[in-house]
Amino acid sequence: MKLWQKDNKNSPLGDGGVEKFTVGNDRDLDIYLAPFDVMGSLAHTKMLQSVGLLSKEELVVLEVALKDIYQQITKGNFTLDEGVEDIHSQVELMLTQKLGDVGKKIHSARSRNDQVLVDLKLFLRSEIERLVHSTKEFFDLLILQSEKYKDDLLPGYTHLQLAMPSSFGLWFGAYAESLVDDLITLEAAYEIVNKNPLGSAAGYGSSFPINRTMTTKLLGFDDLNYNVVYAQMGRGKTERIVASALANIAASLSKLSMDACLYLNQNFAFISFPDELTTGSSIMPHKKNPDVFELIRSHCNRIQALPNEIMLMTTNLPSGYQRDLQLLKEHIMPAFENLQDCLQMAGLMLSNIQVKKELLLDEKYKYLFSVEEVNKLVLQGTPFRNAYKKVGLDIEAGNFTYTPTTAHTHEGSIGNLCNEQVQRMMDSVIEKFNFKKVNSAIQQLLD
């Protein structure tokens, strides 16, 4: 079944190759959109009844049938029939089979273009909510570990050369605060996602007297995509903006994973993990490989390429719908699950991390404390440049002496991590998403 087909005759040309090529992976990916297609149809039918395009009786039977389809989807009992092109066609087919001509009325005043747009926005909105909760969970773990290991010193590096003392508390906390900024960009993407394109039809509106504000409220959107041409132009742009936000979280995870791979290396030996969380070698019995972190790094680097992929796929497209946009689903939709898996596995690893104690008592790290010794002289009244020169000459002459302690008290330093303030920033960002409003609207629609 195809919503655009005028009759049931099959063309002798192409031997089905054109259909196979143009449908592509849509049937598989549309399963992810199924619940959201039903939500969009529930809102649309309520609106159609309000403007006189459906009777109250027709609305009642349509709502019952749509909610029944939704239940099938949530229970995993939903599939696309053979020969059905997409989710929109499947839902309309099921309604028509059950209700006859009433089922054929739900497509009034909309196109597959705004149907897939609203489905995608509802999907993205839902996936962003899941991702925010998972990121917050990982953030909480980082803060917990930062506090737990705040007194355990760690070498700090610049240019991968020994630089100054750091701590595991500082290291864990750095990635926690990184996630705060990552969620700020995700919240900005969420604001763009949370606008209603339904009613833009094929991109040029409708001569029916529809009420787009009504569907906006029913679906819990914050606002409309008002201009119907821009509503269609937003496809591709929205995915690219969301992909950029995903890439930021992925970048934080990738960098953390690289650190973990280095720190597990025997030449560093800062951390270790239980045997069951690492892998071995088929010929080297001593090996404990950080495969989980290596795979997180690679998965996340691939996600960082996603905005560029989408940008290239949408470059130089004119306004209006183009079939190129269909392929974006194959790139953006799996990225969410992939990033969720990376967050879960990173959480598993860091929950079981074993930190080596008293690392900096090893004499090979003594020059980490050169700045500490310079600062001690300055606090005693020596000008900084003179103190710097003295300590430098002592190092060259082999006369450098030090104590392996730190006295950092300013905000965000080893001795004053400011994790409470970082926690406050994260809470403030999450509050801006206002998921309660959205979930309340959807619940009312489905009840």
Mean pLDDT of the chain: 94
Assess whether pLDDT exceeds 90 at residue 167: yes
Whether residues 311 and 428 fall in one domain: yes
| Residue 46, pLDDT above cutoff 60 | yes
Paired tokens of 35: 């619940």
Check residue 304 and give its pLDDT. 98
| Predicted local distance difference test score (pLDDT) of residue 367 | 96
Q: Residue 15 has what pLDDT?
A: 59
pLDDT digits 0-9 by tens, 171-186: 999 999 999 999 999 9
The pLDDT of residue 4 = 46
Residue 2 confidence (pLDDT): 56
* pLDDT in the model for residue 5: 60
Q: What percent of the chain has pLDDT over 70?
A: 95
> Any residues with CB less than 8 A from the CB of 8 and at least 6 apart, and which?
none
Look up residue 8 and give its amino acid: N
Q: How far is C-alpha 239 from the chain's CA centre?
A: 11
Are 37 and 134 in a shared domain?
no
User: pLDDT tens digits, residue range 341-381?
Assistant: 999 999 999 999 999 999 999 999 999 999 999 999 999 99
Same domain, yes or no: 89 and 139: no
Average pLDDT over residues 423-437: 97
Residue 300 · residue 384 · CB < 8 Å: no
- For residue 82, the domain's CATH number is 1.10.275.10
160 within a domain of the structure (yes/no): no
Do 224 and 243 fall within a single domain? Answer: yes
Number of domains in the chain: 3
Residue 276: give its domain's CATH number: 1.20.200.10
Same domain, 261 and 374: no
The predicted structure's pLDDT at residue 14: 56
Q: Which of 376, 444, 366, 363 is nearest to 408 (CA)?
A: 376
pLDDT tens per residue, range 187-219: 999 999 999 999 999 999 999 999 999 999 999
Residues 237 and 303 in one domain: yes
pLDDT tens digit string along 270-296?
999 999 998 876 788 788 899 999 999
Dist. CA 89–CA 178, nearest whole Å? 43
Q: Do the domain assignments include residue 407?
A: no
1 has pLDDT over 60: no
For 377-399, the pLDDT digits (tens) are: 999 999 999 999 999 999 999 99
Q: Does residue 408 sit within a domain?
A: no
Is the domain of 122 the same as that of 42? Answer: no
Mean pLDDT over residues 45-58, rounded? 97
Confidence tier at 68 by pLDDT (50, 70, 90): very high
Q: Is residue 121 part of a domain?
A: yes
- Cβ atoms 182, 248 nearer than 8 A: yes
Where b means 16+ CB within 10 Å and e means fewer, 246-265 reads bbbbbbbbbebbebbbbbbe
Residue 405 lies in a domain: no
Q: Is residue 7 part of a domain?
A: no
> Is residue 97 domain-shared with residue 130, that is, in the same domain?
no
Residue 381: which domain range?
366-397
Please check whether residues 70 and 117 belong to one and the same domain.
Answer: no
Taking each helix axis from N to C terminus, what angle separates 26-50 and 328-351, rounded to the nearest 10 degrees? 110
- Determine the Cα–Cα distance for residues 397 and 401; give it in Å rounded to an integer: 11
Q: Is the pLDDT of residue 44 over 90?
A: yes
Give the 3-state DSSP-derived string for the chain, with helices as H, strands as E and coil as C.
CCCCCCCCCCCCCHHHHHHHHHHCCHHHHHHHHHHHHHHHHHHHHHHHHHCCCCCHHHHHHHHHHHHHHHHHHHCCCCCCCCCCCCHHHHHHHHHHHHHCHHHHHHHCCCCHHHHHHHHHHHHHHHHHHHHHHHHHHHHHHHHHHHHHCCCCEEEEEECCEEEEEEEHHHHHHHHHHHHHHHHHHHHHHHHHHCEECCCCCCCCCCCCCCCHHHHHHHCCCCEECCCHHHHHHHHHHHHHHHHHHHHHHHHHHHHHHHHHHHHHCCCCCCEECCHHHCECCCCCCCCCECHHHHHHHHHHHHHHHHHHHHHHHHCCCCCCCCHHHHHHHHHHHHHHHHHHHHHHHHHHHHHCCEECCCHHHCHHHHHHHHHHHHHHHHHCCCCHHHHHHHHHHHHHHCCCCCCCCCCCCCCCECCECCHHHHHHHHHHHHHHHCHHHHHHHHHHHHC
Tell me what pLDDT residue 141 has.
98
Domain membership flag for residue 409: no
Q: What is the pLDDT of residue 344?
A: 98
| Residue 308 sits in the same domain as residue 393 | no
Q: What is the mean pLDDT of residues 317-339?
A: 92
Q: Is the pLDDT of residue 323 over 60?
A: yes
In whole angstroms, what is the distance from residue 217 CA to residue 298 CA?
41
Predicted pLDDT at 24: 67
268 and 174 both lie in a single domain:
yes
Same domain, 60 and 139: no
What's the confidence (pLDDT) of residue 28? 81
Greater confidence (246 vs 85) lies with 246
- Minimum mean pLDDT among 17-21, 51-55, 397-401: which range? 17-21
Indicate whether 411 belongs to any domain: no
